[in-house]
């Protein structure tokens, strides 16, 4: 269930969504797929398979239900609460970006040491979250692990909340803790229950800017560029209900070019934009592989479940079926795994023996020699896509100490094409998320010309969490010796430039 399916208090209807006019025809199974799926864990062979799911607990293990009230349930909103009344989003104060630690470990101050932390493993990343009391606690920044060192499981939310579809819906696995720890909450904007804030002033300002002859582009930029996911959701509903119009349609009609695309990507909000990006990545001739990577690599289970549900709601299509129809061979297998939302939770304890075994399995799966002869790509994908970020950091550290080579370089040398790019991004987001996003931003601006669609998606994705955005800007300066704002200004022009700069500030 997506967060659009339950409007906030006040009865605002969801925004109008134009129905999809084209559907991909089903394709016959590929021979390579039939060969590869025989090697897959039973959970990934087919979504309708009656066999037990991957990573399910043994029958003897029971999971007691969580109470209905408590952790992460938004409190009843007051009758009218302006978003100006709560403190600004953030919580990650601007400061000099520390140099990356050895083996790609995130360069943030590690949380307090807890039990079960093997010596020598890099610390988990710090969450980027708003100050206490701003919003219900939610996961931020592509699944940054909660405070606490390896092996210290934090409390988890009740299953089924915040956008994760109920068991069996849309092909998603039952909501549960994968890997032994309680599930993490979704990122801000991926919830099925959104706090209500009064954004009537912003809705009025947008209508005034687009009413009559001409458009006040600066006013539109000023309003949309500074809203967080909760405020954006409320503005869209308020605008649509109060003026009996559709905000997205009005933006599309009143603007044009890359400026229009940037406004729409922002106005959709993070969840709807992810679903929109995935759909258009697989629409038409060819596949926009980097878009699939950007949305699905390194995401939390809760976010993936919300994306799958929103994808079906917006386009009446199943995400896994579309991935199978558009990809083939090893990349199909990898993305079915990524889209399943069954990776280990960040609260999973880091057990040194398991890390050593996973490192050995990964090295064997990557094959022998510099180019990875006789590799088992399916098993390598399974190891890298199903481990938590904390486990991946520990595996990367163990791999470096044992084989005297970074795991990222090993992946780059033994894989190629789309699979290499997806595995590389999955690992680098686990090792250092701000640096991974900084590299993606530079990639969209490097070389001849600017990849504007990628630049728009990546700036919009980073800007939702202000604390994380500051960390990305610092990481960009640390690696490239440039200011991200000036780099964007050098690649863009006009209202398009002003919109991107306003979001990145």
Report the distance separating Cα 275 and Cα 290, nearest Å. 14
Residues 411 and 439 in one domain: no
Give the pLDDT confidence score for residue 373 in this predicted structure: 61
Using H for helix, E for strand and C for coil, what is the string for 306-356? HHHHHHHHHHCCCHHHHHHHHCCHHHHHHHHHHHHCCCCCCCCCCCHHHHH
Q: Among 13-17, 445-449, 456-460, name the one with the lowest average pLDDT.
A: 13-17
Domain count, the chain: 3
Residue 395 included in any domain: yes
Flag whether 212 is in a domain: yes
Q: If pLDDT is split at 50, 70 and 90, which confidence band does 181 have?
A: confident
84-109, pLDDT tens digit by residue? 443 333 334 333 333 333 333 444 43
Highest mean pLDDT among 67-81, 83-97, 161-175, 218-232 belongs to 218-232
* Mean per-residue pLDDT, 338-345: 96
- Asked whether residue 72 carries a pLDDT value surpassing 60, the answer given is no
In this structure, are 427 and 439 located in the same domain?
Answer: no
425, 438: one domain? no
The pLDDT, as a whole number, for residue 399 is 98
The pair phi, psi for residue 368, each rounded to 5°, is -105, 160
Q: What is the pTM for the complete model shown?
A: 0.69
Q: Which of 370, 401, 431 is the last residue of a domain?
A: 431
Would 254 be classed as within a structural domain? yes
In the predicted model, what is the mean pLDDT of the chain? 76
Higher pLDDT, 76 or 235: 235
Tell me, what's the pLDDT at 176? 52
419 shares a domain with 484: no
What average pLDDT does this structure show over 163-186? 54
391 and 442 fall within a common domain: no
* Tokens, residue 171: 């092909």
Domain annotation covers residue 128: no
Question: Looking at 270, 298, 319, which one is the last position of a domain?
Answer: 270
465 and 487 inside one domain = yes
The mean pLDDT of 61-73, rounded to a whole number, is: 36
Residue 9: partners with Cβ closer than 8 Å, 6 or more residues away: 76, 77, 196
Per residue in 1-40, pLDDT (tens digit) is 443 344 444 444 444 444 444 444 444 444 444 444 444 4
Residue 415 placed within a domain = yes
Given 255, 270, 285, the domain boundary residue is 270
Two tokens, residue 148? 């606490």
402 shares its domain with 463:
no
Per DSSP, 95 falls in state -
The pLDDT value recorded for residue 491 is 95
Can you give the pLDDT at residue 241? 95
Q: Percentage of the chain with pLDDT > 70?
A: 63
Same domain, 445 and 425: no
Nearest to 176 by CA among 189, 194, 157: 157
* Boundaries of domain holding 248: 200-270
**119 is written with which tokens?**
């010596």
Rg (CA), the chain: 22
What is the domain-level CATH number for residue 391?
A: 1.10.220.10
Q: Are residues 353 and 421 in the same domain?
A: yes
Q: What is the pLDDT of residues 115-138, one digit of tens each?
A: 333 334 444 444 444 443 445 444
**Cα 168 to Cα 279, 305, 340, distances in angstroms:** 22, 11, 12
Residue appearing with tokens 């209900």: 241
98 in any annotated domain: no
State yes or no: pLDDT of 255 exceeds 80.
Answer: yes
Convert 447-469 to b/e letters by CB count within 10 Å (16 or more is b).
Answer: eeebbbbbbbbbbbbbbbbbbbb
- Whether residue 141 lies inside any domain: the answer is no
Least confident of 12-16, 358-362, 371-375, 451-455: 12-16
């Amino acid at each position: 269930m997506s967060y659009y399916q339950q409007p906030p208090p006040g009865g605002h209807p969801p925004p109008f969504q134009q129905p999809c006019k084209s559907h991909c025809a089903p394709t016959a199974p590929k021979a390579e797929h039939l060969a590869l799926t025989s090697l897959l864990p039973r959970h990934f062979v087919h979504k309708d398979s009656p066999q037990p799911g991957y990573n399910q607990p043994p029958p003897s293990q029971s999971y007691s239900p969580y109470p209905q009230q408590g952790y992460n349930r938004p409190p009843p909103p007051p009758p009218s609460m302006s978003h100006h009344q709560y403190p600004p989003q953030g919580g990650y104060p601007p400061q000099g970006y520390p140099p990356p630690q050895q083996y790609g470990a995130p360069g943030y101050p590690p949380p307090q040491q807890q039990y079960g932390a093997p010596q020598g493993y890099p610390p988990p990343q710090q969450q980027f979250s708003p100050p206490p009391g701003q919003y219900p606690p939610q996961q931020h920044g592509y699944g940054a692990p909660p405070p606490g060192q390896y092996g210290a499981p934090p409390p988890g939310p009740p299953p089924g909340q915040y956008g994760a579809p109920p068991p069996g819906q849309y092909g998603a696995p039952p909501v549960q803790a994968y890997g032994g720890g309680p599930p993490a909450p979704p990122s801000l904007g991926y919830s099925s229950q959104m706090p209500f804030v009064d954004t009537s002033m912003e809705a009025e300002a947008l209508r005034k800017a687009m009413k009559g002859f001409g458009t006040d582009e600066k006013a539109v930029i000023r309003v949309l560029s500074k809203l967080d996911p909760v405020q954006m959701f409320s503005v869209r509903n308020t605008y649509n209900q109060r003026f009996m119009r559709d905000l997205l349609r009005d933006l599309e009609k009143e603007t044009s070019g890359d400026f229009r695309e940037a406004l729409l990507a922002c106005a959709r909000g993070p969840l709807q934009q992810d679903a929109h990006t995935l759909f258009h990545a697989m629409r038409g001739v060819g596949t926009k592989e980097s878009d699939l990577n950007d949305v699905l690599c390194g995401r939390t289970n809760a976010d993936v479940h919300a994306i799958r549900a929103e994808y079906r709601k917006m386009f009446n299509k199943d995400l896994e079926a579309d991935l199978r129809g558009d990809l083939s061979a090893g990349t199909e297998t990898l993305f079915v795994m990524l889209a399943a939302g069954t990776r280990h939770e960040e609260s999973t304890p880091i057990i040194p023996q398991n890390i050593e075994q996973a490192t050995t399995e990964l090295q064997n799966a990557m094959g022998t020699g510099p180019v990875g002869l006789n590799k088992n790509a399916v098993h390598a994908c399974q190891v890298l896509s199903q481990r938590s970020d904390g486990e991946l950091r520990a595996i990367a550290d163990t791999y470096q100490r044992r084989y005297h080579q970074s795991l990222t370089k090993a992946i780059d040398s033994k894989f190629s094409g789309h699979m290499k790019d997806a595995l590389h991004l999955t690992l680098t987001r686990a090792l250092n998320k701000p640096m991974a996003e900084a590299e993606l931003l530079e990639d969209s601006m490097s070389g001849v010309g600017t990849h504007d669609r990628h630049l728009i998606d990546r700036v919009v994705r980073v800007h939702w969490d202000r604390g994380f955005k500051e960390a990305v800007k610092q990481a960009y300066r640390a690696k490239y010796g440039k200011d991200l704002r000036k780099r964007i200004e050098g690649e863009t022009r006009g209202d398009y430039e002003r919109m991107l700069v306003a979001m990145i500030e």
